[in-house]
Amino acid sequence: MTATPLLGLKVVEFTHMVMGPAVGHILASLGAEVVRVEPIGGDQTRRLLGSGAGYFPMYNRHKDSICLDLKAEEGLRIATQLAERADILIENFRPGALDRLGLGYDALKGANPRLIYCSEKGFLPGPYESRTALDEVAQMMGGLAYMTGPPGRPLRAGASVIDVTGGMFGVIAVLAAVEERHRTGKGQKVQSSLFETTVYLVGQHMAQKAVTGRAADPMPARISAWAIYDVFETADDSHVFIGVVTDALWQKFCELFGLDDLWADLALRKNNERVLARDRLMPQVRALVKTFARDDIIARLDGTGLPFAPIGRPEDMFDDPHLLASGGLEAVTLDDGRATLLPGLPIEMDGVRPGGGDALPAPGRDTQAVLAALGYDADAISALIAKGAAA
């Protein structure tokens, strides 16, 4: 059984790269019927190399694919028909790109007043809105890269966190608009953006400045709120993160590792005092952890309530026992027929994980079925394909 709370919602998607497809993937995983409109031959995102090679398989599962030439009159007419019958439209092209094709919200809302039009952009309306933005651009502009790298060395986060989170905010806006449509019967245009998403994520550091009067230091140079809250080297040259974030956990930590001398020091019983004594504490704790192999210290910490984490790599997640046992990974058949596992939505609904196994759609895999659902007969479909308006 698969959770399908959005069953019955029809979505048409004009997107590329990550941010827009992430919106469609989340909605599709929740049961919406998503038709992904690709150019003839398929979205160029399918053919990216290097760090982009995973974009398409990660964010385009559970969708139908139709290939259209939007520069051809017939292809544009089909796209318009899809939009006019949809509950939700998603797009993330440059500002004005779909408007010039007659696929902007103002052009569509007359024929489809219930349409919820989700526009994913680099910036919300304002002085920057015409700028070209990417995930990395937003991280640099919005303060996240500054906070991630050491002083003087801004560093982007190690995943497309702004593209994906911006897509999540797009989904939130879409679902809010669906709920409002239940009351009003009307759709609306909703937007989310890379830059504003980044600023929201660094809002805690802005609030820190507002509260303390002191600007936040980059995370590698920060003064932690806790004395023991760091990555430690183990005897086998591996690493593990350990956090001691309450006074009760400090007592447990000392008992667990036989640190009677530290527990006997009454000046260390309270968190803030331990933070002030961090330079004295950390060498002793680092030396202690260095006497344990990685698996040994994990075994000792597991089940104690102390926050800890081995330092995992993305490729380690394929074999993670928790993900495998809990249904956190979905079976996916790639374009070339190979089978793999990829993360499903990190939620559970009424005891059920949304999503499920799937095969990625080949470019235009569902073109004929989508056109038939629009009322085209077999001869008309063949003629459109022969003209190159659809594929």
Note the pLDDT of residue 114: 98
- If one counts every other C-beta atom within 10 angstroms of the C-beta of residue 281, the result is 19
Domain ranges (residues) in the chain = 10-201+327-387, 224-313
Compute the C-alpha angle 298/147/228, nearest 5°.
35
Question: How do residues 107-137 score in pLDDT, each as one tens digit?
Answer: 999 999 999 999 999 999 999 999 999 999 9
Note the pLDDT of residue 2: 78
Write out the CATH class of domain 224-313: alpha beta
The whole-model pTM stands at 0.95
Reference 346, options 168, 152, 88, 151; nearest CA is 168
The tokens describing 274, both together, are 């331990």
Backbone angles phi, psi at 156, to 5 degrees: -70, 150
Contact predicate 156/145, CB 8 Å:
yes
Selected from 1.20.1050.10, 3.40.50.10540, 3.40.50.300, 1.10.10.60, the CATH number assigned to the domain covering 10-201+327-387 reads: 3.40.50.10540
β-sheet with 308-310: strand ranges across: 229-233, 239-243, 308-310
Compute the C-alpha angle 160/88/183, nearest 5°.
120
* 10-201+327-387 and 224-313: identical CATH topology: no
CA dihedral 356, 358, 363, 367 (to 10 degrees): -80
Note the pLDDT of residue 1: 60
**Residue ranges in the chain modelled with pLDDT below 70:** 1
